[in-house]
Amino acid sequence: MTAVTSTSWTAPGDPGDEWHSPLYHAAVEQLGRAADLLDLDDESRARLREPRRSLTVNFPVRMDDGEVVVFTGYRVQHTLTMGPTKGGLRFAPHLSLGECAALAMLMTWKTALVGLPYGGAKGGVRCDPGLLSDHERERVTRRFASELVPMVGPDQDIPAPDVATGEQEMAWFYDAYSQAIGHAAPRVVTGKPVELGGIAARREATGVGVVEVAAAVLEHQGKAVEGSSFAIQGFGNVGRVVAERLQSLGGRVVALADVGGGVHDPAGLDVGAIAGWSEEHGGLRDCPFGRPIDSRQALTTECDVLVPAAIERQLTPEVASEVRCSLVVEAANGPTVPGADRLLAARGIQVVPDVLANAGGVIASHHEWVQARQRAPWDDRTVAEQIGARLRAATARVIETAAERNVDWRMAALGIAVDRVARAGRLRGVFP
Ligand code: NAD
């Protein structure tokens, strides 16, 4: 028998090459800093750095004009230590395995931070959702769901809405999965329409949660939503709810933008009117309710609180040097690149990290999943109270840990989460 050296088992290149993407490298860098803070052992670092499972699928879909187009989709599960995995499905033109790997890791930290029994996952289809008709979107979603049948399941991996997906896509996914396994399996996705076992609170939970966390942080700083000014990039599932909620609490929304354009008014925008206009015109391009701005300008508008609520990697060092606010609340996942993080800190601008700020959505999803398991509906008020309570407790813990360890809020949040997952991993041990 020939001796096997350790290199025989190692694929060429460094670990993590398969997942190469700027966002994945940023996620690994953040994990490394949190691990240093915790003085984490090498074994735990190695186990947490790479996703446990990933699936890439290429599948054909017949378009409305009869042409067959092959789409690429991904699903990545970061850790299986904490229970089933949980995370959104997105439709995006440049989606990659590396982006899904990074976002899956972020989901692990988010669920651990707020104490949910899940590991992180993420996936989606590489496509331009704006170019798909409703029928095409349905066929893409259903075919993708059937491709994922071996990987997802109510106690395995539970998708949810993310960028450019929502209740309708979750309904199609649920139906396609149920057809494949022969019975209804409502727990396979969350973020479903209420008629199919969704919960009303899930629709707005991410945005409402962002405001809940922002309010708790402002209160800690001796300030309040009422009387503060806010600039928001992204006007979709999350950004729109954030804007509406802030305004209803007396906040002044001074800038709003989506991918096509935006508006600015230092005296405060009429969010309701802008939402109506956006719905009617399919976005904020040429919106007449304020001075026109683009989505980058929304990030550099003078305000008290900046809320990136669109996509990842928007706050680059260049943008961060022009930001004019005292607080950033990350409603989007991964909106700040590591270099920009350091620059913001040097400028005295504090950042509420994504894993805390936007955790309201996955907390509501957990309620939806538990409700389906119990087959007994919960009332909306109980769900809303429990989401708020979990977020306030996590915010207080992050602020306290940051002060104790003299680190920023991102490192405090990641430190709490990584510690929890690493401890669980050590307790479960290594199979066999
Ligand atoms: P969405 O598709 O409903 O909205 C996205 C918004 O961002 C749209 O207004 C779009 O025009 C804008 N946008 C897209 N690309 C842009 C670009 N290049 N520049 C500027 N704006 C751009 O998505 P969403 O569900 O609101 O998600 C927004 C962010 O929040 C994402 O990072 C997502 O991962 C995160 N998030 C969402 C949820 C949820 O429950 N939907 C939960 C947690 C985190």
pLDDT in tens, 100-135: 999 999 999 999 999 999 999 999 999 999 999 999
Q: Which atom of ligand 1 is nearest to the CA of 161?
A: 41
Q: What are the tokens at 274?
A: 């802008």
Query: Mean per-residue pLDDT for 347-363?
Result: 97
48 and 150 share a domain? yes
Any ligand 1 atom below 6 A from CB of 123: no
Enclosing domain of residue 243: 205-357
pLDDT at 161: 95
Binding site membership of 165 for ligand 1 (Cβ less than 6 Å): no
Distance 336 CA to ligand 1 centre (A): 14
Please tell me whether residues 158 and 305 are part of one structural domain: no
Same structural domain for residues 166 and 96? yes
The number of distinct structural domains making up the chain is 2
183 and 147 share a domain?
yes
The tens digit of pLDDT for each residue in 262-319 reads 999 999 999 999 999 999 999 999 999 999 999 999 999 999 999 999 999 999 999 9
Q: What is the CATH number of the domain that holds 297?
A: 3.40.50.720
Percent of the chain exceeding pLDDT 70 equals 96
Residue 110 has what pLDDT?
A: 98
- For the Cβ of 262 lying below 6 angstroms from any atom of ligand 1, the answer is no
> What residue owns the CA closest to ligand 1's atom 23?
163
Residues assigned a catalytic role: 122
Nearest to 104 by CA among 218, 24, 18: 24
**Best residue for ligand 1 mutational test, from 100, 233, 258 (most atoms within 8 Å of Cβ):** 258
For residue 10, pLDDT beyond 70: no
Same domain, 58 and 163: yes
Decide if 214 is inside a domain: yes
Task: Establish whether residue 258 lines the binding site of ligand 1, counting it when its CB lies within 6 angstroms of any ligand atom.
Answer: yes
% pLDDT > 90, the chain? 91
- C-beta atoms surrounding 208 within 10 Å: 23
On whether both 151 and 209 belong to a single domain, the answer is: no
Same domain for 248 and 191? no
Choose one of 162, 197, 232: the last residue of a domain. 197
Q: Do 106 and 221 have their domain in common?
A: no
- CA of 191 from ligand 1 middle (Å) equals 15
Looking at every residue in the chain, the average pLDDT score rounds to 94
Kindly state whether residues 27 and 80 are assigned to the same domain: yes
Q: How does DSSP assign 260-293, residue by residue?
A: TEEEE-TT---HHHHHHHHHHHTSSTT--SSEEE
Domain end: 197, 224, 240, which one?
197
Domain identity same for 57 and 98: yes
Distance CA 353, CA 184 (A): 37
Same domain, 79 and 164: yes
DSSP one-letter code for 404: H
pLDDT reading at 7 higher than 80? no
In a domain, residue 348? The reply is yes
CATH code of the domain in which 151 resides: 3.40.50.10860
Nearest CA to ligand 1 atom 41: 162
Q: What angle separates helix 42-49 from helix 409-428, to the nearest 10 degrees?
A: 100
| The pLDDT value given to residue 16 | 62
230 and 181 together in one domain: no
pLDDT of 12 strictly over 80: no
Q: Is the CB of 365 under 6 A from ligand 1?
A: no
Residue from 266, 346, 260 nearest 310 by CA = 260
